Amino acid sequence: MTIDVHPHFDETTNTVSYVVADTATRRAAIIDPVLDFDPKAAQLATETADALLGIVERERLTVDWILETHAHADHLSAAHYLRRKTGAAVVIGEHITDVQKIFLPLFEIGDIAADGAVFDRLVADGDTLPLGDSEIGVLHVPGHTPADVAYLIGDTAFVGDTLFMPDYGTARADFPGGDAATLYRSIQKIFALPDETRIFVCHDYLPEGRDQYAWETTVAAEKAANVHVHEGVSEAAYVAMREKRDSGLSAPTLILPSLQVNVRAGALPEASEEGHVFLRLPVNVFPKTSPLPDGV
């Protein structure tokens, strides 16, 4: 079982999306795709998602799955756009229903139910999906959100926001439904994977002392050097650090447009009779300094 990993980095949102292919059969999955959105002009574009389709075409792949590690708050998902282009099924963790129950009332979204049905497949811890001659395993890693999952394919783990590069640390845990202690325990599940497991992260932000973006590391490297949660850091120490750090973080720029789209599996609300699509901007729902996830 051999797989190819093709990353694509979107510098606007600091997001890494992946095309992962079984080399023998050319069956593929796309992980955490980005739909471009300019909040100042309220303009959508598909340049980043089309770059993923370009990889698919260049490598002569057939896309079976579009895998979301969670409902992102820092970018809009291109899952629905890519589903229409490829016919692939959109997959997310089964606890997306918990996230929908939080955010559907906030945005007064009444045209979908909090049952995950807008996604094609809800997965639970221990589930597997076929990928040609390979297999996609599912590891439930809540803490950043209730619905976070990591996808295990061959010797790789796509961990979403749970871990970042060792010199940057871990995700914030004050998202509604998130919890620092739960995140610590989820990270220990990842640390229990073989040391040589290649870890691919969903975001990279340049810390002081590094001027090149990076997104691949290993379990061994994370355990040895993660600045927040290396081996020897206790759960109590991690929780104290995480909660103190999170208390001063502001809301991410795209949280309001992102969440109302991403709980719909990347689909936009229906157009008005005049053909216009509207995203909602609820006023004063979060404090100015807001305990909400910005991926840091």
Query: What was the pLDDT predicted at 260?
Result: 95
Query: How are beta strands 34-38 and 128-131 bridged, if at all?
Result: unpaired
Whole-Å CA distances, 255 to 145, 236, 259: 14, 29, 6
What per-residue confidence (pLDDT) applies to 143? 97
Domain of 10, CATH number, reads 3.60.15.10
* Phi, psi angle pair for 19, to nearest 5°: -110, 120
- Residue 287 falls within a domain, yes or no? no
Q: For 230-240, what is the mean pLDDT?
A: 97
Q: How far is CA 155 from the centre of its chain?
A: 20
Q: Please indicate whether residue 21 or residue 250 has the higher confidence score (pLDDT).
A: 21
Residue 267 lies in a domain: no
Whole-angstrom distance, CA of residue 156 vs CA of residue 145: 22
Looking at residue 286, its pLDDT comes to 65
Give the pTM. 0.94
pLDDT in tens, 147-204: 999 999 999 999 999 999 999 999 999 988 999 999 999 999 999 999 999 999 999 9
pLDDT for the residue numbered 175: 85
pLDDT grade for 226, boundaries at 50, 70 and 90 = very high
Per-residue pLDDT tens for 72-106?
999 999 999 999 999 999 999 999 999 999 999 99
Whether 34 is in a domain gets the answer yes
- CA nearest 172: which of 290, 21, 54? 290
Confidence of residue 287 (pLDDT cuts 50, 70, 90): low
Report d(CA 261, CA 44) in Å as an integer: 12
43-74: pLDDT as tens digits: 999 999 999 999 999 999 999 999 999 999 99
Structure tokens at 90: 């959109």
Residue 236 lies in a domain: yes
Q: Is 194 helix (H, G, I), strand (E, B) or coil?
A: coil
In a domain, 96, yes or no: yes
How far, in Å, CA of 3 to CA of 26, rounded? 9
Work out how many domains the chain is built from and give that number.
1
Q: Which domain holds residue 141?
A: 3-205+213-262
Beta strands in 50-123 (DSSP E): 62-67, 76-77, 89-93, 121-123
> Looking at residues 216-228, what average pLDDT do you find?
98
